[in-house]
Structure formats: structure tokens, C-alpha cells
Amino acid sequence: MDLSFNTEERAFQDEVRGFIAKNLTEEMKRATALTPSVFSDPDIGMAWQRALHRQGWGAPGWPVEHGGPDWTPAQRWIFETESARAGVPNVNVMGVKMVGPVIIGFGSPEQKNFYLPRILSGEDYWCQGYSEPGSGSDLSSLKTRAVRDGDDYVINGTKIWTTHAHHANRMFALVRTSDGPRQQDGISFILIDMKTPGITTRPILTIGGDHEVNQVFFDDVRVPVANRVGEEGKGWTYGKYLLEFERGSGIASAKLREGLKAIAELAESDLTGRAIDSPDIATRISEVEVDIDALEMTELRVLSALQTGQNPGAVSSILKLRNSEIRQAVTRLGVDVIGHDALAVEPMRPLYKLNHEPALPEDMLTVVPEYLNGRAYTIFGGTSEIQRDIIAKMMLGI
């Protein structure tokens, strides 16, 4: 694999750096640095999405006919790496990287014409209605039901751990439209306007004290049948397709490397009493760096496959598994580096909006919140146990 850039690619690298320098405000950069979650607050993330859209870069992984930039794998890699180095905000991941590809792959022409431009422009902000109480890893057992009534479905039930549902104006959801011998065969994929009467969103505060996830209740919510993506009862297929893109379409190694770099700089500073001098800390930093190198190589291979339209398949589970485990290793290392100062953490979010002097220096402010938030990495998007099952079945035939 040739990892050197040619003249055109270096010119593109300069273009990306120039775009970031022009459009990334200090407020965006600081907010991103002080956000412990993988999700930026909408006022920050969607401002960046609009800037990308103006440039024609709003959806790097989409086909060019739907607004994608038609980048080569090398250009995609350059863009993601430079974005991570600069500390740009995350856009609405659930719109661009999750429901967008499903609508492109299975949606009607009307759905594509309506929703895709709104995702690109940042007009719509999406949340994901998958998990339910008692239906997380065993998602096929979901009970939220949609009953056909003329040109509408009437939906009753509840979804849980719904990230940013309190911000979103739209949800994509898996709902049960029929019963049969195989639970997976009675599930449909529905697009829901969050302003529809009968929807109630209640906050769930996580271990870090932040309001990121919610429980959403549906009480006789009427949704047009036209909002169903693809065929009735085929939602399980579309949902799995979405999860493969969620798990396998990003470039996580660049951000992980920047996160490790920040921890290493803290370890070398007087703020931590030069924690790097501890053989344990120094060794763990090196071990995580090697893990990131290995992840990076896998991502490059997957990126090339995605560029040719191939579904990432089981390798998406490998990427999700390793990304989650390495993220947790980085955040755990950060807590050990700052030591007893971790006790001074302020469990609140967003940290960039604090209106008082924090108890810790700003360089250390997010270390513990990121660690606490990161406990969910090996759960959301499919637990690590589920990822290993998928790998065993699809790659080893077990």
C-alpha cells in the first residue's frame, strides 16, 4: 500500500487546510475540545455542516449524484485526518452517516428528493429510534408497534437511549408492523417527524451528569405510510445495512491519534508532575499508539472498498470493536495520567458554556468526562459481544 501523496493530493491537502482555517471559528474549536461526547452540540456541529455544504463537502461518503464530492480514497483520508488534527466539530452523524445511506440505497425518489438535500444543508437534525427497554442487543425483539390505518401508521411504544432526541426534528425508527415465526420479518423502517402529536421525550442523565440520551414515548402517533423506507417488513435488512455504515464508514484512527497526543502532552507537562516518567504510563502510551496504527491500516483498506460501492460487511464490526476498545484505553489512560486531580471533575455538559472558573486547568477539564462518557462506547451501536458474534459468523463461519 503506497501511503505517499502525489502532487494533486498534496494540493488537495492544502485546499482542505485552507478551508478549515477560513471556516473553523475559535468558538467551534474550543467547543469541540471541551465536548466529552462523540456528538457535538447541534449549534456547533450544524454550523460546521452548513460550511461543509457550501463547499460541496457535506457528505464525503455519498455518491456524487446525491451530493457527494466524488473523492478518491486518498482525498477522503486527507480530509478526515486534517479535520481531526484541526479539531473540527462532528456533524449530525445520524443524518449524514446513518439514515442518509439508507435513503440513498432503499428510499423512494420522493424521499431522496426531500430528505437528502435537508441532511446536506443541516436543515434536518436526526436521532435514531432503535433500542427499547428489553430490546437492545436483541433488537429483533422490539415491541414498538405500527398499525396500518388507511394512509397512516399509528405508532405506540417507546425507544430508549435515544441520543439527542431532545434536539432532533426527525427520527428514523424500527417498528413492528406484523408478527411471524421470525421476529426480524415483521419490522419496518419508518421516518418520523418529531413534532408529530403524541411524541414525548424524557431526559436520561448519564454517569457523567450530562443530558445526551433520552427515552421517547409514542402514544397513537400517526405517521404517513409514505414515510416508510422500502418494503413493509424489510426494516431489519435496512437496519443492519445502516449499522454497517455506522460502524464501518468513518475514520476513527485520526481522532484517536489526536486524543492520545493530547494525553501524552499532559503526561509530559508539569501539570501532571511529568507522569510520563512512570514506566507504566510510558509503556501504555506506546501500546495504544501501536493499536491505532493497526486500526488505521484496516480503515484504509475499508475506505478503498467503500469507494467502489462495496458494503463494509463484517469488517465494520472489527472497526467498531477496535475503535471502542481503543477509545476506552485512551480515556482510561487520561484519568491515570492526571491522577488525583480527577477528583476535581465537574460532571456537567456542555463544558464550553461554563460561566465560572473551572476547578481544573482547561487542558485537563474533559479527561474525566470523556472517560465517563466513554463507558458506553462498547455498548452503543452494538455491544462488543455482539460484534464478536458477527465476526465469528460472517468471517469464520461459526
- DSSP secondary structure code for residue 381 in this structure: T
Question: CA-to-CA distance for 67 and 95, rounded, in angstroms?
Answer: 14
Q: Among 355, 354, 379, which Cα is nearest to 366's?
A: 354
Nearest-5° angle of CA 274, CA 208, CA 334? 20
3-state secondary structure of 63: coil
Per-residue pLDDT tens for 316-335?
A: 788 889 999 999 999 999 99
Catalytic residue among 244, 246, 299, 370: 246
pLDDT confidence of residue 96 = 92
Please report which residue ranges of the chain form alpha helices under DSSP H: 7-23, 26-33, 42-55, 73-86, 93, 100-106, 109-121, 235-248, 252-267, 279-307, 315-338, 367-373, 384-395
pLDDT confidence of residue 134 = 87
pLDDT confidence of residue 382 = 77
Question: CA-to-CA distance for 246 and 215, rounded, in angstroms?
Answer: 21
Cell of 245: 455504515
Judge whether 246 counts as a catalytic residue.
yes
The residue type of 10 is: R
Mean pLDDT for the stretch of residues 260-275 = 92
pLDDT confidence of residue 369 = 87
pLDDT at 250 over 80: no
pLDDT confidence of residue 396 = 79
Task: Choose the weakest-confidence range: 1-15, 26-40, 276-290.
Answer: 1-15
Question: CA-to-CA distance for 85 and 269, rounded, in angstroms?
Answer: 20
Per-residue pLDDT tens for 306-321?
A: 655 566 667 778 888 9
pLDDT confidence of residue 324 = 92
pLDDT at 21 over 90: yes
pLDDT at 397 over 80: no
pLDDT confidence of residue 271 = 86
With both helix axes pointing from N to C terminus, report the angle between 384-395 and 315-338 in degrees, rounded to the nearest 10.
150
pLDDT confidence of residue 182 = 85
pLDDT at 22 over 60: yes
Per-residue pLDDT tens for 37-91?
A: 888 889 999 999 999 999 999 998 899 999 999 898 889 889 989 999 999 998 8
With a pLDDT cut of 70, the percent of the chain lying above it is 89
Question: CA-to-CA distance for 124 and 192, rounded, in angstroms?
Answer: 12
Cα atoms in the Cβ-side hemisphere of radius 13 Å centred on 344: 12
Q: Among 48, 71, 126, which Cα is nearest to 94's?
A: 126
Q: What CA–CA distances, in Å, run from 290 to 281, 285, 294?
A: 14, 9, 6
Q: Are 210 and 347 in contact (CB under 8 A)?
A: yes
Question: CA-to-CA distance for 228 and 197, rounded, in angstroms?
Answer: 18
3-state secondary structure of 135: strand
Q: Which of 369 and 146 is assigned the larger pLDDT? A: 146
pLDDT confidence of residue 206 = 85
Q: What is the DSSP string of 154-208?
A: EEEEEEES-TTTTT-SEEEEEEE----SSGGGGEEEEEEETTSTTEEEEEEE-TT
Task: Choose the weakest-confidence range: 27-31, 300-304, 328-332, 357-361.
Answer: 357-361
Q: What CA–CA distances, in Å, run from 189 to 105, 144, 161, 169, 303?
A: 13, 12, 18, 17, 27
With a pLDDT cut of 90, the percent of the chain lying above it is 59
pLDDT at 349 over 60: no
Return phi, psi of residue 146, to 5°: -120, 115
pLDDT confidence of residue 245 = 61
Question: CA-to-CA distance for 106 and 110, rounded, in angstroms?
Answer: 12
pLDDT confidence of residue 234 = 94
| 3-class DSSP string for 230-279 | CCCCEHHHHHHHHHHHHHHCCCHHHHHHHHHHHHHHHHCCHHHCCHHHCH
pLDDT at 239 over 80: yes
Q: In the structure, what pLDDT confidence band is assigned to residue 181 with cuts at 50, 70 and 90?
A: confident
Average pLDDT, the chain: 88
